[in-house]
Each structure stands twice: as C-alpha cells, then as structure tokens.
A and B are shown apart, each in its own frame.
Chain A
Amino acid sequence: MSRTVRVTAFAGVLTLALSGCGGVGGGSDAGGGTATKGALSTMGFGFSDEIASTRVDAFKRDHPDVDLKVTEGSFDEQQFLSAVASGNPPDLVYMDRKLIGTYAKRGSIQPLTDCVKKQGINLEQYRPAARAQVTLDGTVYGIPEFSTVRVVYLNEGLLKKAGMTADQVNLADWAALPGLNAKLATVSGGRLSRIGIDPKIPEFLPMWAKANGVDMLSADGRTAKLDDPKVIEALTTGVNLIQQQGGWGRFKSFRDTFDFFGAQNPLSKSQIVAWPMEEWFLNQAAKNSPDAELVVKPFVDRQGKPLTQSAGQAWVITKGARNPDAACAFVKQMTATDTWMAAAKARADARKSAGQPFTGVYTANAEADKRIFDELYQPTGNKRFDDAVATIRSVQDAAFAMPASPAGAEFDKAYYDAVNRVLAGQAQPAQALQRAQQEATAALDKAAK
C-alpha cells in the first residue's frame, strides 16, 4: 500500500469518527546526515524552565550549523502518529519511557546501537532502572533524562497533634496501617477533611506490589502477573485505606481539590498527613511552604528496606529521522554530565536570585547527580529540606522501574481499570485483578506476534 493511500486511510478513520487531528508540520527538506549539520526537529519537548533552555542553548552553541527546531508541547500520540503516517516524522521525540517498548516493537523508533557507538555514549552512566525502561530485548531505544522517584511525605505538625513522631510511621507494617490511618484521618459526618494515608492507587500499585515482593510485569515486559496473590494483597491494603476514609467518592473528590503547585498546597493547608509522591514536590514545598513541618522518608518494603519506583522521559530517534547523526549528538549532549551541571547551575542561580532554596536536580545520569550534589548543591540550612534531599538521593539506587513492554499502554489500562473497578465497588480485588490479568495477557500476546 502506497504511503499516499495509507495517509488517506489514516485520515479516514478520523473523518468517520470525529474531526480534528494535529500534525507536526514544518517538515524540513534540508536533510543533512552529517554529524553536526542540517535541520533537526524535535517533538514532545518544551522550554519549560532553565533546565531545558540551558541544555538546548549548550547544544546550539556547540553545533552552530545545526538548525534546531523545537516543536514545543508535551508528547501527543496522535500528533506523533500523524507525523509518522505522513512520512514526516520529527528526528527526535521526547516521550515517557514507558511508551518506548510499544513504539520500539512497532519499529517507529530506531535502535540506538550505532548512535551509542558512534558518539561514544557511556550507557553505564545512566541509572539501571532508567536503562531498563529504554531497553527492549537487549537493544537500547532511548536515552533517559530525568529520574523521578517516589518518597513518602509526612506532615510532622499533624503527626505531633496525633501524639506521634515521624519515626513512628512505619509503612512496612501493613497490619498496623488501618490503625495508623484511623488515627491520622479526619472524617466527620461522612465528610473527609484530612487524609491520613493516601496509598496513591492505582498509579502506585506496582510499588505496593513490589514492596510485597512481586513484580506486576516480568523483566522482559511480556508476562503479566496481575493475579498474583501478593498483588491482590497489595491492592486490598490500598483499597482498605481509602474505604476507611469515607470511600473512593469522598476521598477522590477531596484529593481533586488539592493544588500541589501553589502556596495553598495540601501540606500548608494541613489536608494530608502521609502520602507517597514523586520527589518533585520537594521543590514545590521549598518554594511555596519553606516553613512547613515536612519530613521525607523512603517508601519501604514489608521488611522495612527502602524502595522506590523510578520513571521519567527519554529521547528517542524516529525511524524516518532525516538527520539521525545530529539527533544522536543532541541526545548525547542533552544528557551528558557537563550539560546537566550547567543546567543545575542555572537552576541554583535562579533559585538564589529568587531567595529560594535549591533542592537539587535528579537525573537518570548517576554521574551527573554525583557532581551536582558534590560540587554545586549547598545545604539550605533548613534541616527538614536538607534531610529530604539526602533521603531522595539515597533511594535513587533502590529504584526499580516498570520494564519496557510491547503492550505497555494496554497493560497499564488493564490494571488501572481493575483498581478503579474495585474502588467503585464493582468488583473484589481478586476478581478484578484476574480479569485484568486476562486482558493484559491477551494484549501482550497480541503485541508479541
């Protein structure tokens, strides 16, 4: 089938269903092909802050002959597929690492074996969890950027009011969690006004399952283990915590009102006591609530051993990239230790001039992180935040990640749906996860063909 027919057909699906389709546009015919010349286009990336702009500026400075065009905005599957179908893909795409397996399996992104070799990219500098997410069947398809990890935030002021200290919050003891939750949450007249413990399911179910000693997806990303009794136990534990606090309807609607990015965040408004969350909230808390009684602890498994789940974005080079050499040079520079250092310095300077503490930059490049924290990071003097930074750094090496899978999106949907069915009272955990297991297995089997 010719490309024209395929493009036309692709448009037909949209026409029949509804209208509206984005396109990447602005295709370049400049070609290139040499290492540092010609046009280079990206998708899914934006100049959201100094971390992004400093690194891009560094690339532009070192590669003046590359005409870099950054199409700003988050990664959009429809936009990407439109570009691929029209034979006009961007050279580079910045996407969630969990999508890489699917696109790699379909052949829409390039293996980076040659790129790594040609540019001499040291893969060992990247954290193992991040590397695993960009590797399918032993082949690397992406270069990881940030490493987002999850830690437990505690509002110690509220703990004190409950007659407790942060040390007494033990998430390893699942049997004691309901008692702890009942002590911390405030529910009166069917109205929830303070969350005790937020298990953050369905998003964090893989981490709860891992804490219980099981991976929900095999390391090769091809076998689902959603109906494992330990996953069922993890889900039951999380659901019970929510049911204790008025049920999912009340819980979620209360949580939906939280603004984690402003001065009126749930920490400052005393709306939540203990919650696992990504490390980026520390930056927000430092900026918006520097006086908050915040304690950050590692999430732990049932033996009390620190555990975290890592996630983040990665750069990939598309199959039809017109300038793969420049693209490779770009991903190398964007994730190189020196570039991260320059970006972190820009962030530190910006924070300093704003009178706000610099709480670090957490990348997937372990070398870069080491240098940032050894050479650039200065303790803020606020012990709470300095301890929090140390905690976040310490858990980076205890991180696991959901492996790359050829049916990652379907797998996610299967277990999200299962959790939501349980939360909505439509199914019991075992029943819901058995159904999810069937759905995920069917999708994984289909994708493996």
Chain B
Amino acid sequence: MATVTAPAPGRRRRTPLARREARWAYLFLAPWIVGFLVFYAGPMIASLWLSFTEYDVINPPEYTGLDNYRELMSDPAVARSLGNTVYYAALHVPLVMLISLGLALLLKRVGRLQGFFRTVFYLPVMTPAVAVGILFLLLLNTQDGLINRALGLVGIDGPSWTTDPGWVMPGIILMSLWSLGSTVIIYLAALQNVPRDLYEAAAIDGAGAWARFRSVTLPMISGALFFTLIVNTIASLQMFTEVYTMYFGNRETQNTFNSDAATFYVIHLFQEAFQFLHMGFASAMAWLLFVIILIITLIQVKLSNRFVYYEGEDK
C-alpha cells in the first residue's frame, strides 16, 4: 500500500506557475496598493502627526504634544457633537435594519413585479445627498411641509422639525430612512439564498411562520445582517452631507438653525478645520473618531462570533 506524506506546513515550495501567478496578482493589485499608500496610509500618518500640533494650514505646524487631545476631552462642543452623532447612530442603524428587513421580506413575496419594486426602492440611493438635504428641508417645514400637512390630516399638530431642538434629530433620522435601498437589496439577496429545503423541513417539523423566521431565516441571513450593521454604523458615525446641506449649507441656514441640535461630529470637525482654521485640532478629532469606530467595530466583530452563522463553518 502506498503511503502519501503530506508536505510539512510552510515548507512547501511554490511552483514556477504559482510564482508567476503571484507576480501577476501583485501587478494587478499595484494600482490599489499605490493608491492606498499615497491617498490613505500616507495622509493618515501625516494627520496623526498633525494632531499633535497647532496647525492652521497657512503657517507651519507647531508641536504642542497632547494639547489637542486634552482640549478634545474638555471641549463641550466636541462632547455635544459626539452625543448627537451617537444618538443618531443608535436610532438610525436599528431602524434602517428593521425597516429594510421588512421591505426585503415583502419584496421576496412579490412575484413578477419584484424587479420593478427593487428598482423603486433603490432609486432614492441614486439621489445626490445634497438634493436629499434640500428636499427634506422643504418636507419638514413646520407650517407648509408635506409631513406636517399629512399629520394634520389625521388631527396631529406636527412639531417644528427643524427648529425645535428636541425634534431636529428625529427629523434627521426620518430623512436618513429615505435612502435605505442598498440595505434592502443586500437583505433581499441574502433571503433569496436561503435554501428552500430548510423551510420545508422546518414546516414538516411543525414550525410556524415566526419559528421559521427566527430559526431558519435569521441565522441564514445573519452574515448580511452583520455586514449591514458594521457598514451602517460606520456611515452613521460619519454622517455629514445631508445634514450639512440642511443646516449649514449656506449663510441663511448656518445663521438661523440651532447648531446645538444639528451639529454632528464630522460637521464640527469640518468647521474646526476649514472655518476656524484649527487643522491640528481637527486632526485630533478625526483620530478620535477613527478610534471610536475601531472599538465599536471590534466589539461588533467579537459579538458576531456568537450570533453570525457562516455556511461551511464548524459551530
């Protein structure tokens, strides 16, 4: 009987073909690698250095040690903007996931017209963010906005969405739901990949609709859920364009809206950098946001080990 000895790990010599393939792979990867180094890694390292300096873009930076980070910790405007951003993310992400999942489940049941509705749900994603901001400024107008008019039809006196500090954030969250089409499409794709025989087996075992959803659907699309959780969390912590357009886009809006309620972290960062010329401080803010996103993502990844099912994985 012939015996086959497996090559020791790490000692396997690559064939000329494999080496040639690797060279080609690196060649094809080169544009991305160069782009990453020049446009991401390099600037990130440089901005890390800048975060330890007083820098106004115009004059050379002056090293100030940890001063910017100390100021970050004691600046109430930073805390306020961070609080607004976390508040937004905490409501926006679950809402987007829940509504998108609901819509995807409905879409899956639609027969022939699924393609049409899929396009309809995705179309808002194609709308430029600036246009969305302006559109919602009109829709949320207290006296003449469509939303308050609709509320008025059912006897509800709509709130001052854009001027009452307590309603500014709900208004922004409402606006953010406009473009959940991407998440819907991802969920729909995941739902369509769930093997039909699993549902059949569950049904034979007597599982009802809810049990099938909880025990079959959710585990099978947990990978997609996890992906959208990460992506939407990062995006919501970096919220900028729509809100900037609504509340800070021109002098009129900048002057007459309540910046306490609408200042998101990245908007405050932008103001520090480009309006007040505190680029060193803004760099420190950027790095703080980076660290926060990193920690949140790591926690989510850690938790995903318990809740996310990947096919072919031993669990």
Give A contacts to B, CB under 8 Å.
Answer: 1, 5-6, 8-18, 77-78, 81, 84-85, 102-103, 106-108, 190-192, 202-203, 247-250, 252-254, 256-257, 319, 407, 409-410, 413, 416-417, 420-421, 423-424, 426, 443
- Chain A CB within 8 A of B176 CB: no
Bound: A268/B261 CA distance, A: 35
21 A-B contact pairs sorted by A residue (CB < 8 Å): A5-B46, A8-B46, A9-B43, A11-B43, A12-B48, A13-B43, A13-B47, A13-B50, A15-B44, A17-B238, A17-B269, A18-B266, A81-B58, A103-B58, A108-B58, A249-B159, A250-B142, A252-B163, A421-B260, A424-B261, A443-B276
Q: Which residue of B lies closest to A77 (CB)?
A: B274
Partner of B142, one of A106, A203, A249, A426: A249
Provided the pairs A17-B269, A191-B143 are in contact, do residues A10 and B279 lie with their beta carbons within 8 angstroms? yes
Known contacts A11-B43, A17-B286, A78-B274; A106/B61 CB under 8 A: no
Shortest distance from the beta carbon of B227 to any chain A beta carbon, whole Å: 21
| B286 / chain A contacts, CB cutoff of 8 Å | 12-13, 16-17
Question: Which residue of chain B is the closest to A103 with respect to CB atoms?
Answer: B58
B contact residues around A81 at 8 Å (CB): 57-58, 274, 277
| In the bound complex, CA of A12 to CA of B39 (Å) | 8
B202 on the interface (CB 8 Å rule)? no
B287 to chain A, nearest CB (A): 7
Q: Find out whether the CB atom of B145 lies under 8 angstroms from the CB atom of A253.
A: yes
- Residues from chain B with Cβ under 8 Å of A10 in the complex: 43, 50, 57, 279
- Across the interface, do B290 and A85 meet the contact criterion of CB distance under 8 Å? no
Sample of 5 further A-B pairs with CB below 8 A, known A102-B277, A249-B142, A426-B260: A17-B282, A77-B274, A257-B141, A413-B271, A416-B254
Q: Select A13's contact among B45, B142, B282, beta carbons within 8 Å.
A: B282
Residue on B nearest A99 in the bound complex, by CB: B275
- Chain A residue nearest to B142 in the complex (CB): A253
Contact between A15 and B40, CB atoms less than 8 A apart: yes
Q: Does B160 contact A (CB under 8 A)?
A: yes
Partner of B141, one of A12, A191, A253, A410: A253
When distances are taken between beta carbons in the complex, the residues of chain A under 8 Å from B266 are 17-18
Q: Which residue of A lies closest to B254 (CB)?
A: A416
Contact assessment for A85 and B57 in the assembled complex, using a CB-CB cutoff below 8 Å: yes
B283 is an interface residue with CB less than 8 A from chain A: yes
Across the interface, A424 reaches (CB within 8 A) one of B137, B164, B287, namely: B164
B256→A202 contact, CB < 8 A: yes
B279 surroundings in chain A (CB, below 8 A): 10, 13
B80 to chain A, nearest CB (A): 11
Q: Which of B50-64 contact A (CB under 8 A)?
A: 50, 55-61
Q: What are the residues of chain B within 8 A of A410 when measuring CB–CB?
A: 276
Complex Cα gap A84–B61 (Å):
14
Contact A6 B289 (CB under 8 A): no
Q: In the bound complex, what is the Cα–Cα distance between A34 and B284 (angstroms)?
A: 43
Cα-based distance from A421 to B262 in the complex (angstroms):
12
Any chain A CB within 8 A of the CB of B49?
Answer: yes
- Which residues of A lie under 8 Å from residue B61 when comparing CB positions? 1, 6, 9
Check B44–A16 contact: CB distance below 8 A. yes
- Please report the C-alpha to C-alpha distance between residue A193 and residue B228 in the assembled complex, in whole angstroms: 45
CA distance A81 to B58 in the complex (A): 8
Q: Given A18-B238, A420-B258, is A253 in contact with B162 using a C-beta cutoff of 8 Å?
A: yes
Q: How far is the CB of A192 from chain B (nearest CB, A)?
A: 7
Task: Pick the contact of B276: A253, A319, A409 (CB < 8 A).
Answer: A409
Cβ-defined contact, B260 with A15, below 8 A: no
Cα distance, A190 to B142, chains bound together (Å): 11
Taking a contact as CB atoms under 8 Å apart, the answer to whether B58 and A250 are in contact is no
Separation of A203 and B39 alpha carbons in the complex (Å): 40
Listed residue (B43, B57, B157, B240) with the most chain A CB atoms within 10 angstroms of its CB: B57
What distance in Å separates the Cβ of B74 from its nearest Cβ neighbour in chain A?
A: 12
Interface residues of B (CB under 8 A from A): 39-40, 42-50, 55-61, 137, 141-145, 157, 159-160, 162-165, 238, 240-241, 254-261, 266, 269-271, 273-277, 279, 282-283, 285-287, 289-290
Q: How many angstroms between the C-alpha atoms of A408 and B273 in the bound complex?
A: 15
Bound Cα distance A11, B37 (Å): 13
Cβ 8 A contact of A257, one of B56, B144, B157: B144
Residue pair A423, B163 in contact (C-beta under 8 Å) = yes
User: How distant is the Cα of A15 from the Cα of B39 in the complex, in angstroms?
Assistant: 8
Cβ of A84 to closest chain B Cβ, rounded Å:
6
Q: Which of B56, B240, B260 contacts A106 (CB 8 A)?
A: B56
Nearest Cβ on chain A to B194's Cβ, whole angstroms: 35
Give the distance in Å from the alpha carbon of A8 to the alpha carbon of B45 in the complex.
9
Residues of A within 8 A of B289 (CB): 16-17
Chain B residues whose C-beta falls within 8 Å of the C-beta of A190 in the assembled complex? 157
Most buried by A among B159, B254, B276: B276
- State A319–B43 Cα separation when bound (angstroms): 25
Query: Which chain A residues lie closer than 8 Å to B42 at the CB level?
Result: 8, 12
Q: Please give the distance in Å from A85's CB to the nearest CB on chain B.
A: 5
Docked complex Cα distance between A230 and B273 (Å): 33
Contact partners of B56 in chain A: CB under 8 A: 106
Which one of B44, B165, B271, B276 lies within 8 Å of A426 (CB-CB)? B165
CA distance A14 to B273 in the complex (A): 9
The docked-state distance in angstroms from the alpha carbon of A443 to that of B270 is 17
With A9-B283, A108-B58 known to touch, is A252 a contact of B46 (CB < 8 Å)? Answer: no
Q: Which B residues touch A426, using CB under 8 A?
A: 165, 258, 260
Listed residue (A107, A256, A417) with the most chain B CB atoms within 10 angstroms of its CB: A256
* Contact assessment for A9 and B46 in the assembled complex, using a CB-CB cutoff below 8 Å: yes
Residues of chain A lying within 8 A (CB to CB) of residue B143: 191-192, 250, 253-254, 257
CA distance in complex: A79, B255 (Å): 21
Complex-state Cα separation, A6 to B43, whole angstroms:
9
Q: Please give, as numbers and ranges, the residues of chain A lying within 8 Å of B59 by CB-CB distance.
A: 106-107
Smallest Cβ distance from B59 to chain A, in angstroms?
Answer: 6
Q: Is B47's CB under 8 angstroms from A9's CB? A: yes
Complex contact A18–B240 (CB within 8 A):
yes
A9-B50 contact in complex given A17-B286, A81-B57, A253-B141, C-beta closer than 8 Å: yes
A12-B47, A17-B270 are contacts. A6–B60 as well, Cβ < 8 Å? yes
Q: How far is the CA of A202 from the CA of B252 in the complex (A)?
A: 10
Task: Give A77 to B266 CA distance when docked, in angstroms.
Answer: 16
| Closest chain A CB from B206 CB (angstroms) | 51
CB distance from A16 to the nearest CB of B (A): 4
Shortest B169–chain A CB gap in Å is: 13
The docked-state distance in angstroms from the alpha carbon of A247 to that of B282 is: 36
B157 touches A249 (CB 8 A): no
Kindly list chain A residues whose C-beta atoms are within 8 Å of the C-beta of B255: 202-203, 416
Roughly how many angstroms separate A11 CA and B48 CA in the complex, as a whole number? Answer: 12
